[in-house]
Amino acid sequence: MSIVAWLKRLKPPRLDDEDFQEEIRTHLAIAADERMAAGADPKTARQASLKDFGNVTLTTEAARRVWTPWWLEALRDQANDVRYAIRALAKDPAFSLTVVGVLALGIGLNAAVFTMLKGMALAPLAGVEGSARLHEVFGETSSGRPVPLSYSDYQYLRDHDHAFSGLMGSTLATLGLGRGRSSRSLSGELVTGNYFQVLGVRAGLGRTLLPSDEVASGGNPVVVLSDGLWRHDFNADPDIVGKAVEINHYPLTVVGVADPAFHGTIVSYDDEVFIPVTMTQQLGFTFAGPKTTQGYLRPGTSLADAAGQIDALWKTLSRNRPLSDDTLRLRLAPFWNAPGSPQSYVLPTLVVLSAMGLLVLAIACANIAGLVLVRALSRRGEMAVRLALGASRARIVRLLIVENLVLAVPGAVLGVLLAARGLPVLVVYADWLAAPQRLFLNVDVDRLVVGFAVLVACGSALVFGFIPALQGSRVALVSVINQDASPRGASRGHLRSALVVAQVAVSILLLVGSGLVTRSFDAARAAKPGFDPSHVTSIWVDVKRNGYGEAQGRAFFRQLLEAARADGVTESATLAAYNPMNMIETGAQRAAIEGYEPRRNEDVAFITNTVGPDYFRTLRIGLLAGRAFEDRDDEKAAPVVIVNATFAGRFWGGAAKAIGQRIRVEEGDWRTVVGVAADVKYLRINESPRPYVYLPFLQSYRPGMNLHTRGPSPVKELVARACALVAAFDANLPIDAKPLSERIAGSLVFLHLAATMLFIFGVAGMALAAMGTYGLVSFTVKQSTHEIGIRLALGASGLSVVGGFLRRGLRLGAIGATAGLVAALGLSRLLSSMLFGVSTTDVVTFARALAIVLGGVAVATLVAAWRAARTSPVRALRHQ
């Protein structure tokens, strides 16, 4: 069947027009005959029956409508409206382009934030179908601290659970690829054998890891590469499968390359290798087993069901083995809220960004509403004609709304393009801030984003179009026919004023929000974190990358430290396992405190760092009591420990009382407290004081350490000298050298990005609001040209005319500003989690926002009024 025939069949039944006209003709003929029979002459009879019949066209229309389904006619009407709207808008390109542009800006910012939100919560893992439905299983101590499951617990759950379709585990690890100086540091995951199967990720080449790759400790020397690694570091070698690569100095056989879209399961990290978790020891790690356990719930299993099942399993498991004193409960969390994950940190900030984005959109809508309103006034003639011809108000409102929707679609498309262009710039910026750490941000602008943009655009069109459309359809016919152009309709003036007030209020809100975050970013950068990072190097050396054992490593670090001290440019040198403010939650360790009985449900666990002698002197951290670590605190000496002020205060009531007390970390020796150090910021600049424990490096070996050197020379020089020192011992040892200040800057990356975006939002919102206010004010002034002319002709000075408008403008500005300030005072509290060193009612921020907004209103009013005052009275009066 041809398409035409098929379409014909689809065509609904319709009125036979010819037949109907014929019927009407016969009706008229019969009527005329009857009249003639009653004695009328033929002409009068025909005319009378025609008159009697009424409107033939309308009758035909009505008959036709009987046959058309109501939806078809509505659709046809709609299509007509759209066609008409496009024609009307094309006639007014300045208006149409402005609206599309403003809308595109508003939509673009929101689409960008939505894309990021999607990349964190809605589709967090690229290349993994339905990754938002992943759930994490983790343990929780009685005091609510999340801890990873042990490997054996994981295995028990994996084998016995029925709530999940599968449970896989993984651990993020920083690894060295290759040997020696040419080796490259990369992120990878140590994963369970079912990792790829649970996620449903396929291999692009070769095979993925399989459960058979997780059999015995050290027994599975295989690796799956990411597509990116394969392309960049192995030139997309088609014969890569079966070849050996060296990772952390250990040879692994490549069994496959993962799907190109897949970047691992750690949000924002670009994971490049996937290695069986049974290989952790061979790669030089001290932990065993995966640190996160994740899986998809079976269809039809609710979170509560799954939690119940997991709980029951856990109880069985607990009965069969000795319980530690740290009673664990098993918990389930959706992926976006997985404890300790990047997404769970970032999401609150993104929510704030989304709210700010919506504020910009609100300003954009108010702005467009103003334009639509002004345009509606200039179309009063057209509307009057429509009303006079019998169109209902509802019909006119619909037409105007269709016009707005027609504008919304290109606005959405442009907005999505804007987001698609803008996000890569942001990604490059973030990459630059985070270097050398490789980032992977899942910010693909996909169908979901386009759908969001269209939805928001249409929603906006209804918001900015509805009230003006209602107003526009309310036309007093008489005043239009009398060519009365002055805005007598007081309500329209009110609406314009309301729009000015709304834009002012929302921009205050926006400026306060972005101002608070920007100021707290400045405060964070200027903040004293408790140590002095200037003139200090941070040289990261991981000796297991070159296959060093513990004895070799100990000797190496001891010699390196001696050489660094002996170097002419150094004032002091030390070693430390972690940089301060390193952002990474390193995992607290349980500790026992002599003479302290933990309360029920009290969880005694602290973050520990392993540091060398002179640590506190090199980083200029104050010592409140006792002494620092010294060279004599080696493996043969009595075990010692240093705690921070918060620790000492919490358990012994002061620094001085802490000296001589004893604590034990995990299952280690009892250690005597020999010193109390001042608090510093250990993870983030905005953290609250937390207890912290320092162990001497000679009594607590770690294969990866930072060499810190301090000296008066420029820090670049110090870094180069320190690198040379390391190379002198082992030229093949990979190192990652930076000034300490740069590493700390890395910890501000996210705050930096958020502040940058909020700044963009603030500028965009302010520009839109200024434009909108100027447009509305200048329109009001233009409408008053007549009045100005009269006042000037009667002898008023230009200055007094300008003054009058300025007063009116500022009054509106003041009303809006008051509303905005009240709202900002109420809402800024929601930002508190993002703020540092700035109160939510920061006077400077509020005053600045107020000054900017009122200044903007004043300038807009002045410019518009000044132009009006310069027109000559004669011209103004002749205007109409």
Residues that bind other proteins (CB under 8 A): 13, 15, 19-20, 22-24, 26-27, 29-31, 33, 52-55, 58-59, 62-63, 65-68, 70, 73-74, 77, 390-392, 394-395
Any idea which residue has 């990772």 for tokens? 247
Q: How far is CA 805 from CA 171, 358, 492, 783, 802, in A?
A: 66, 31, 18, 12, 5
The minimum distance between CB 86 and other proteins, in angstroms, equals 18
- Beta carbon nearer to other proteins, 331 or 474: 474
The minimum distance between CB 520 and other proteins, in angstroms, equals 55
- Beta carbon nearer to other proteins, 74 or 435: 74
The minimum distance between CB 90 and other proteins, in angstroms, equals 23
- Beta carbon nearer to other proteins, 37 or 304: 37
Sign (positive or negative) of CA dihedral 312, 318, 319, 323? negative
Closest to 643 (Cα-Cα) out of 603, 681, 607: 607
Separation of alpha carbons 615 and 630, rounded Å: 10
The minimum distance between CB 811 and other proteins, in angstroms, equals 43
Question: Phi and psi (nearest 5°) for 692?
Answer: -150, 145
- Beta carbon nearer to other proteins, 52 or 446: 52
The minimum distance between CB 383 and other proteins, in angstroms, equals 15
- Beta carbon nearer to other proteins, 29 or 656: 29
- Beta carbon nearer to other proteins, 5 or 66: 66
Strands 268-269 and 244-247, bridge-based pairing: unpaired
- Beta carbon nearer to other proteins, 67 or 670: 67
Under DSSP, is residue 672 helix (H, G, I), strand (E, B) or coil? strand
Q: What token pair was written down for 225? A: 């590469």
Strands 250-258 and 222-225, bridge-based pairing: parallel
Alpha helices in 703-797 (DSSP H): 715-729, 740-747, 749-783, 785-793
- Beta carbon nearer to other proteins, 30 or 303: 30
- Beta carbon nearer to other proteins, 58 or 478: 58
Strands 623-626 and 670-677, bridge-based pairing: antiparallel
The minimum distance between CB 399 and other proteins, in angstroms, equals 10
Closest to 402 (Cα-Cα) out of 771, 776, 74, 72: 74
The minimum distance between CB 387 and other proteins, in angstroms, equals 12
The minimum distance between CB 81 and other proteins, in angstroms, equals 9
The minimum distance between CB 70 and other proteins, in angstroms, equals 5
For residue 377, how many other CB atoms are within 10 A of its CB? 20
Q: Is 358 exposed, middle or buried (0-12, 13-18, 19+ CB in 10 A)?
A: middle
Q: Are 675 and 627 in contact (CB under 8 A)?
A: yes
Q: Are 445 and 420 in contact (CB under 8 A)?
A: yes
- Beta carbon nearer to other proteins, 45 or 277: 45
The minimum distance between CB 30 and other proteins, in angstroms, equals 5
Sign (positive or negative) of CA dihedral 220, 225, 226, 229? positive
- Beta carbon nearer to other proteins, 72 or 435: 72
Q: Which residues of 544-574 are buried (b: 16+ CB within 10 A; e: fewer)?
A: bbbebeeeebbebbbebbebbeebeebbbbb
The minimum distance between CB 18 and other proteins, in angstroms, equals 12
Q: Angle formed by the axes of helices 715-729 and 550-566, to 10°? A: 140
